[in-house]
């Protein structure tokens, strides 16, 4: 499924110069409150009042990460922003700026890239006000690819690492569990043709039947503001739930040298999807006992002496999540 659409002049990126494409995209991008020198120079200059900055990067590639049959340009701009904003929040920082690189097929309409820019603006406005796009790069490729780098300000807080969980801590999560995976399952079972290939003509019906879960997959809404709140409340460890609760909770346990025991009753009726479904982009954190949980955090388990992941007191040895090197089969995004 290729990129479709056209603008008034029918101009594609293969016909327009990079300068012309950027001229049209720049006005649509969100501005950053931290910008001292913005897009248009060799590099941006950002204010860092804390004296430190948090930085992360993430890629989205057509095929393993999204399908053009299901995701429009605004969806993709939104998701590319959200997945990076959540990593910044997971360190306890406030997102300040994004750098965006896009490689797209030459037949891509410039208007389609404008839609992507609109998606970035909408996501930043809703999820992280004051964060904006301060630069990036455009190129051509047979495979549509996004590479986004995000920056954040700790505001005097200590960074919350994966390695600080301690026995006795409470395990808590902010955001839904398994909802994005349920949306992806609906797309792959109901928005496909007879051969099992993604079918755009079926999308509207699937969205109407599963609005919450499909939206969670195509336009995730991570609880960005809860990251700094968790840091202020004394969170001992935290990370973004991008690859599945079981896999990500095990990462915290391994980094901290502890055992994490998740309570099945707290994970909802579809336990397996909650444990193994990825792309929720909620926040998993541990807090000292007795902490009043901030924001949307709720208790889902506890930290104990030992090693590894347990569910209801029993070892959970399945990988339980997404690893692009070990199990890519094209069935993501």
Question: What is the rounded CA–CA span in Å between residue 183 and residue 197?
Answer: 16
The two structure tokens encoding residue 198: 């993604």
Select the more confidently predicted residue: 322 or 144. Answer: 144
Yes or no: say if 30 and 125 are a contact pair by the CB < 8 Å rule: yes
pLDDT classification of 22: cutoffs 50, 70, 90: confident
* pLDDT for 319: 75
- In percent, the amount of the chain with pLDDT more than 90 equals 83
Q: What's the helix, strand, coil split of the chain in %, to 5?
A: 35, 25, 40
Residues whose CB is less than 8 angstroms from the CB of residue 180 and which lie 6 or more positions away in sequence, other chains included: 213, 216, 217, 220, 277, 278, 279, 280, 281
Residue 8 has pLDDT above 50, yes or no: no
322 pLDDT higher than 70: no
Using 50, 70 and 90 to split pLDDT, how confident is the model at 326? low
Residue with tokens 């968790």: 230
Query: How confident is residue 7, by pLDDT bands cut at 50, 70 and 90?
Result: very low
Ranges of each domain in the chain: 18-153, 162-175+222-319, 183-218
Long-range contacts of 125-129 (CB under 8 A, 24+ apart): 125/30, 126/221, 127/81, 127/82, 127/85, 127/221, 127/222, 127/224, 128/85, 128/94, 128/95, 128/224
Summarize the confidence of residues 200-228 as an average pLDDT: 97
What would be the CATH architecture of the domain defined by 162-175+222-319?
Answer: Alpha-Beta Complex (3.90)
pLDDT higher than 70, residue 333: no
Known binding residues for ATP: 136-137, 162, 242
The per-residue pLDDT for 330 is 45
Q: Helix or strand or coil: residue 121?
A: helix
Predicted TM-score (pTM) of the model is: 0.92
What is the residue whose two structure tokens read 């509207």? Answer: 204
Q: pLDDT of 256-293, one tens digit each?
A: 999 999 999 999 999 999 999 989 999 999 999 999 99
At the topology level of CATH, where does 18-153 sit?
Answer: 60s Ribosomal Protein L30; Chain: A; (3.30.1330)
Q: Which residues are annotated as a binding site?
A: 42, 56-58, 65, 87, 136-137, 162, 240, 242-243, 279, 322
Q: Which residues contact 307 (CB under 8 A, 6 or more apart)?
A: 253, 254, 257, 258, 259
Residue 102 pairs in a beta bridge with 138, 146
Best CA proximity match to 111, nearest among 177, 20, 47:
20
Q: Map tokens 């590639």 to a residue.
A: 61
Please give the annotated binding residues for substrate, written as ranges.
Answer: 65, 279, 322
- In the numeric block, which tokens belong to residue 211? 């609005």
Binding-site residues for Mg(2+): 42, 56-58, 87, 137, 240, 243
């Amino acid at each position: 499924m290729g990129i479709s659409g056209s603008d008034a002049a029918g101009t594609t990126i293969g016909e327009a110069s990079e300068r012309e494409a950027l001229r049209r995209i720049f006005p649509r991008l969100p501005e950053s409150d931290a910008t001292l020198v913005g897009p248009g120079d060799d590099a941006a200059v950002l204010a860092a009042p804390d004296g430190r900055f948090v930085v992360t990067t993430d890629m989205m590639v057509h095929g393993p990460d999204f399908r053009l049959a299901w995701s429009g340009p605004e969806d993709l701009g939104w998701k590319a922003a959200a997945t990076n904003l959540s990593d910044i929040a997971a360190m306890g920082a406030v997102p300040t700026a994004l750098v965006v690189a896009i490689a797209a097929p030459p037949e891509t309409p410039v208007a389609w890239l404008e839609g992507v820019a609109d998606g970035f603006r909408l996501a930043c406005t809703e999820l992280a006000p004051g964060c904006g796009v301060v630069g990036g790069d455009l190129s051509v490729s047979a495979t549509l690819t996004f590479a986004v780098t995000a920056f954040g300000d700790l505001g005097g807080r200590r960074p919350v690492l994966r390695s600080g969980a301690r026995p006795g801590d409470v395990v808590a999560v902010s955001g839904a569990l398994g909802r994005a995976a349920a949306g992806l399952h609906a797309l792959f079972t109901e928005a496909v043709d007879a051969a099992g290939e993604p079918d755009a003509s079926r999308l509207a019906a699937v969205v109407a039947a599963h609005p919450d879960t499909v939206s969670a997959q195509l336009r995730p809404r991570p609880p960005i503001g809860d990251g700094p709140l968790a840091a202020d409340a004394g969170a001992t460890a935290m990370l973004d739930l991008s690859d599945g609760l079981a896999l990500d909770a095990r990462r915290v346990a391994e980094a901290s040298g502890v055992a994490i025991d998740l309570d099945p009753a707290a994970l909802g009726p579809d336990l397996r999807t909650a444990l193994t479904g990825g792309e929720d982009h909620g926040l998993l954190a541990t807090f000292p006992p007795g902490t009043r949980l901030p924001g949307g955090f709720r208790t889902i388990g506890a930290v104990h002496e030992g090693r590894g992941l347990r569910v209801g007191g029993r070892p959970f040895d399945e990988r339980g999540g997404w690893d692009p090197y070990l199990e890519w089969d094209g069935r993501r995004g």
